[in-house]
Each structure stands twice: as structure tokens, then as C-alpha cells.
Chains A and B, each alone.
Chain A
Amino acid sequence: MIVSLNEIEAMAKRATRGAGHAWGFAEEAGKAARWLAGHGLGGAEQLAALLTENDGAAYGELVPISGDRVWRAGSGRLSPLIAGAALSDRASEIAAGREINIGPIAFPLLLAPYAAAAARLTGATFELTWAGVEIILAPGGVAIETAGSALTAPWVVSVRCRRSGRTVVVRPAGTGATTVDAGVWSQLGALAHRTYAPASEASRIAGAGAGLTDND
């Protein structure tokens, strides 16, 4: 189905919250999904798969147990939503030359929007590399070199993130609507649905404050 970027962001945010993440992560996941869709990189499918896979997992299993150069999760598989947030939080350190190896990590493509945010925050160009993929994230756009399906890999052993000295021709974000698989959309919708309170007649009247006749 064809959806607007606004709809993708809202759905991703609600689904991430529905899957049990803190609101801050949900907000960032919404922006991440919007960034990926806006660059024609999909992302909704990876997000739906990730949220389903980590459904019910405790934060402590997914978060980077910080080393100086290597980020790993206690469960063995980092979440890109959490590692991505940590990565953008450390943007200035990476821009200053710190190199980080992240992994094993699920759906590494989902890290790209966070590295893009780090590039915009610092004005530096960043690179993300994993087996078969190199993504250059400059403040003005993204350039991708990839072989086959490696870009959308469900997990990789390690992703290297560092400042890049390269200048590349980047593509800026588009502004149009995008196509999402209907099955993926309903998968996200089911997670988002957990954030909605069931309707009751009491909430319909009290909660929204209506109840007077409108027929005047």
C-alpha cells in the first residue's frame, strides 16, 4: 500500500512503543523509519521483524554493554534501535576519531538513520560498514555501496562505525509517499494497537468531553 512519510513515522513510533520500548526510543524509531523510507531504503519490514523478534525482551538484554571500542549485548544480539540511539548520543566522540565496532547486531540497516543524525549533529561524514556493505552518511545525504541482499541482512557479526574522510556523491531525501507491504503494515499495526486503550462508553463521553447534543 502507498503511505505518506508522516504515516510511516507515526506507525513506527507507536509500534516501537507497543513492543515495549521507552517513549524516547519510539520517537527515534519513528524518525528512523521516516528517514529510511524517505531515502527509498524501505525499513518498515526490518523494523517489524526486529520488534517481533525482541517482543518481551528486557532492556538489559539488548543494550550495549559498553566497551571503549566494542559494543556487545548481554543477549548476544544488539538492538539497532538502542545501539543507534547510543551511537547518535556519542556523535561528537566518533566525529573526533573514536571508532566503534558494534555487534553482533540485528538488522544493521536500521543503524543508518542514527548515523545520519550523528552526521547532521556534528557536520562530519560517517561510515557504517559490514560484510558486503558500505554506507557513507554525510550531513547532506547518503551514499551506499552494497552487494546483493547484504543491506537488509537480519543480523551481522559486526558493524564498524567511524568518521569517514571520503567525499562521495550523496542522494538527499525525497519528500514523497512510499510503498509498504500490506502484511508488514498490519504487523506494525498490531504492535501499535497495544498502545490504544479499549473504547468504553464512559471514556467516549468523559474522556473526550462530549455528550451534549451536537444537532443544533
Chain B
Amino acid sequence: MSAGFEATGRVTLRPPRLVMRLARLGSLHQCRLSFMRVLLRRLQREGWQFTRPVFDIDARGVGSAVYSASGPARTYSLVCFAHDLPPEQRSDRVIASAWDSTFTLFDGVPSEDDIARLAQNVPKQEAGRVTSREISLSRANRSVRLFEHVVASLAAGRQPDLERIEAVGYLMRTTAVYGSGKFGAVDREGVAARPEFAAPFQAEMLSVFLIRAFTLDLAEHLARARAPETAVRIAPALRRRFGVGNSTGLGLAPFIVNHPVLFNNWITAREKALARVRSLDGAGGIEVGRFCEMLARARLNARQWRSEHPIQIAKLKQLDTDLARLEAHVGSGVLREPAPWDGLYRWAEENLSLEGCEQLVSLLLEPYGDLVDDLADAMSADEAAAFWIDGAMELGRFQAIVHDVYGWALECDWADPVNIARVWYVSEEKLEPRLGERFEEPIERFEQPLAPGRDAAAMHRDIEAWAGEPSVAAFLLHHPEHRHIARRAQIAARFPYAEIRDNTISATMLPIDLLRCKLSFFGATHFDPRSDRWVRINMFQNAPFPHELAAADADDWTYPPLPEATR
């Protein structure tokens, strides 16, 4: 059961029992391997070209636009539909039925007929149908408080107020970006062989990258329409401060439980990257300089990161303290010692909170692109290959796996209502995943299989009592209720970071931990929980825009720039 634990140098990978806890996963930060960064590095390396062949939007903000991105082999086009949404219809909930703008990523350059077909379907989102020519489907709502301020300022010939921009960070929030065959779109297999989509979620990230350009163009367009005489464009430096917001509810949480091999590959890549850096014998001056710069920028990022949620406010306060301590510790000269990064990590594990410790993990990768960026190529997964149960496995060996992966669960009291308080279920309303209270709502019969710990403990008990042929095949023929968890256990034996080593249905579980973990791999910043199961984030803030990408540093934007005076 040591698959994936090969030493990448002196330092081995951190064990799953340390990494795969909800509190730690809920403290992850974006890093070099995050999917937005992987995308922009590729777009720049390959010299992608960006055009806006259609921008047909009226003074009220209604119409359509097309943004095309052309790489070495193919062109993709974001088809945008802008609407005039009455304020009372604006909702971030996935169950909404109208949005300020709707989008699809088209495979190629759409003809007028394509745009006419899409105009009949894309604005309806889940209630419409797209085809295998489309790769993603998404929508966004304006940030009312910022959008109007920006349009009014520009129309009056002024730049919008920096403080107001920073308080929100985006003009529009997406509420879903669907891909992988949803609502008739092309299946993942249909595009997975294309190099530009080899890393996970690249089509979705490309969609959001182009949506960001659209939101700024739309605001400038509306300002010009409102006051053609006086309107100005946003200053380029200020423009960069805008990202795309995203509001994410529980829908993402089951994803990482339902895709164990994929999840394993994400975590494995990050852990290997960490082990490679920790294994270095020394740190050069350039690398130390880069690390210190990024640490200072991470402190700035932490201070700009706003949240009204008490849990996140406490975590941010701790993060700020942690980063101050980290700066002081680094300043004491520890990076001149042998194996400096390993020493620094060990110090952090002893002295910092999970927020600070995982922020350091991300920062350690920053100076070492040449050493770690190739790991992004291994973050996708052939899930079908690991799906089928090995029925020939002998039960003794299988029980050893269960002990290894689910040891924590075998010690848990699953009769205690606190430990089984929650039920994951799917609502008939837009098939939205939800979390309910087992002992307060009539929902248990709709329970989704998202409690691996509880299920493994039940299977373990039945195997102990099993007196038949000692094979997985024979046991499962008589206990079909355990087929689901048996599959997971066998997957986790081969993929050590596949399984969360924590209770996903306890009364104290925080769904936002799962959401943040996934969103950090996307490359999101400024996680702002709106409740324990709903989080807002910012995407591509400070990144170059498509037209700037060729001349800009494509991978130096995830932490805010330092003020000029301190550089």
C-alpha cells in the first residue's frame, strides 16, 4: 500500500492521514499547479491569439458577443448573451432561472446559424440544450454595488474608486460553469486528447478567463452609450484589479467524493511538488529572493481578503499572525542552513495554524517552476481504469486495506446521532445537491452514498462475521449493499489520497472545507464563506487580460503586486 509514496529525493510525501483531513483541505491555497495558472502559462507559451469578432450589444446592455481564442491547432469561442435582468430576479442560487449574462464555449468559430441556435438555448441554461459543438455552459450576475459605480464613473469621465473595487473585486459573479457533457455538451472523452485540455477543467477556466474580458468590455461599452462625450476607458492597471466572482454552493462538495482517482491525482501532484522542494539541499539567492517577495505579497493578499463569516474572519486573523511569524523566522537566517525548505516546512508544521502551514506549502513552490510545473500534466485521471472491483482479492488482504484507509472510522461510534447527523441528498429542484438533518427531516431514504467512513465501518463489521468463501466476490454477492464502499476501498488502496480521512456526515462537518479545497485547485483566491455551505471567491483577479497576455508575465498575478515604494 505504498503506491505513490516513492521518495522524490530525501523527503517523502506527507501521509494521507495528515493531508486528507477536512480542516486541512479546507485551508488550501492556490498554487503553481492550480488550473487557472496552468491555463495561462500554456496560452502564453503557445502564443494564443484573441479576437472579438462580434460585439452587438445595445445601450441597455442587451445583445450578444463572441470572444475567440486561437491556439496552434484549434480555435474556441466564448459566445456571450447579455440580458436586461430586473433586480428582483437576480439570485446567485443555482436554482435561479434568469441571469444578467449567459455563456457557452463553442468548439471553433460560430456561424450566424450557430449563434441563432445558441440564442434559443444558452439563455435558458439548464432548461435549454446544447450540442457536442459546445464545451461549457455558464452564466453570471452583476455585482450591483460595483457595476453601476463603475459604469457611472466611466460615463462621467472618472476612474472608478479603488477602495470600492477592492471591496468587491469583480463586476460579475458566475453561479455555475458546466462542462463534461452536461445538458448535451461534448463529453470529456470528446476533447480530453487535445493537449490544451489535458489538465483538468481547462475549458471551464478558459471560459471564465474570456468572461472576465467580456465583463470589463460591457461596462466600458455601457458607459460610452450613456455619455459618448465624456466617457473614458478604465486605466489598464485598475482594470487588472477586476476578477470574475464565483458563488458556489454545495454542488461542488460531492464532486471530490465522487471522483476519488481525480482527487487523488490533484493532491498527489501538490504533495510531490512539496516533497521535491523540501528535498533541495540548499536555496540560491534568486530563489530566496523570489520566496521572500511572494511571502510579502501573500501577506498583502491576506490583508485584502475580506470575509464577513466568523469562521473565516478567525482564520484570516490567524493567517495574518502566521505570515508575520513566518517572515520573522525567515528573517532570522534559517534559509542559509542545509535543506532550508524542509527545515522551514517542519518549523511551520510545529508553529503555524493549518491556514499558515498550507499557505507556506503554496509559497514554497513559487520559486521552483522548473522543478514542479511538469506535475500538472499528471492531474487528470482515467477513472474508468480504476472503477471495476477486483473480486479475486482475498478478504484478509481486503480487511487490511480497510484498516489502513478507514482506521479512523473503525474507532468512531456510528450509533451516536452526532456522528450521523447529516444526510447528503439530491433535491428534485434542478437536481441540486443538498445537506439535511437526518433526525429532523424525512430525507434519509434519499441519502446519497457520500459517507465513506460510516459505510466502511459497516462493511468491516459484516466481513468480521462472514464465514463463507474468503473472497471479495463471494462476500459482495451476499452483501450487495457494500459494493459501493468496497470499490472505494480498493481505489484508495491504489490511490493513497483518494479518500478523505474524516466524517462527512457529522453534525460538526463544514461543507465549505470541501468547497474551498476544490476551488483552491481551480486557482481561486479570497474565499469568502457566506454560510457553512456556500462560498464566494474571486477568479483571475490581477491576471493579464487576453490582449495583454503575450507581453505580460502570465504567471505572476495570483498574489497582488507590492506597492511601488516597497519594491
Contact = CB atoms under 8 A, between A and B. Distances in A.
Given A6-B182, A6-B188, A197-B434, A82 B480 contact: yes
Nearest to A87: B391
Q: Is the interface of B mostly helix, strand, loop or mixed?
A: mixed
B481 A22 contact: yes
A75 interface: no
Interface string B188-212: 1110000000000000000000000
B477 A207 contact: no
Contacts of A208: 93-95, 249-250, 427, 432, 434, 533-534
B90 A214 contact: yes
Interface in A138-191: 175-177
Nearest to B434: A207
B252 interface: no
Interface string B386-426: 01111110000000000000000000000000000000011
Given A27-B484, A196-B428, A89 B132 contact: no
B185 interface: yes
B181 A22 contact: no
Contact of A176 (B132, B427, B482, B483): B132
Nearest to A64: B477
Interface in B171-189: 180-189
Contacts of B530: 209-210, 212
B484 A23 contact: yes
B145 A216 contact: yes
B493 interface: no
Contacts of A120: 385, 388
A22 B384 contact: no
Interface residues of B, number: 69
Contacts of A204: 95, 427, 429
B187 A210 contact: no
Given A5-B189, A23-B483, A203-B441, A195 B390 contact: no
Contacts of B552: none
B388 A88 contact: yes
A196 B187 contact: no
A213 B218 CA distance: 24
A91 interface: yes
B217 to A, nearest CB: 23
Given A7-B184, A24-B486, A91 B392 contact: yes
Size class of the contact patch on chain A: 35 or more
Interface in B138-187: 141, 143-145, 180-187
B487 interface: yes
A175 B193 CA distance: 11
A195 B428 CA distance: 8
B434 A66 contact: no
B358 interface: no
Interface in B430-483: 431-432, 434-437, 441, 443, 446, 449, 472-473, 476-477, 480-483
A121 interface: yes
A4 B135 CA distance: 12
Contacts, number: 179
Given A4-B186, A203-B434, A214 B91 contact: yes
A196 B385 CA distance: 29
Nearest to A198: B428
A215 B173 CA distance: 11
A53 interface: no
Contact of B189 (A27, A85, A175, A206): A175
B511 A209 contact: yes
Contacts of B131: 2, 177
Given A209-B511, A209-B534, A196 B181 contact: no
A91 B141 CA distance: 52
Contacts of B284: none
Contacts of B534: 208-210
Given A177-B131, A214-B93, A216-B144, A196 B483 contact: no
A120 B387 CA distance: 11
Given A2-B184, A211-B531, A193 B428 contact: yes
A89 B181 contact: no
B26 to A, nearest CB: 15
Interface string A55-79: 0000100011010000000000000
B389 A88 contact: yes
B101 interface: no
Given A209-B534, A210-B93, A214-B90, A197 B443 contact: yes
Given A193-B428, A207-B436, A208-B250, A4 B181 contact: yes
Most buried by B among A90, A199, A207: A207
Contacts of A24: 389, 476, 480-484, 486-487
Contacts of B429: 199, 204
Ranked 4 nearest A-B pairs via Cβ = A24-B483, A89-B391, A6-B181, A209-B533
29 contacts: A4-B185, A5-B187, A5-B189, A6-B187, A21-B480, A22-B481, A24-B476, A25-B483, A27-B387, A28-B483, A66-B477, A85-B476, A85-B483, A86-B391, A91-B392, A93-B392, A120-B388, A177-B132, A193-B428, A195-B426, A197-B446, A199-B427, A203-B427, A207-B250, A210-B534, A214-B90, A214-B92, A214-B93, A215-B88
Interface of B: 87-88, 90-95, 129, 131-132, 141, 143-145, 180-190, 247, 249-250, 384-385, 387-392, 425-429, 431-432, 434-437, 441, 443, 446, 449, 472-473, 476-477, 480-484, 486-487, 511, 530-534
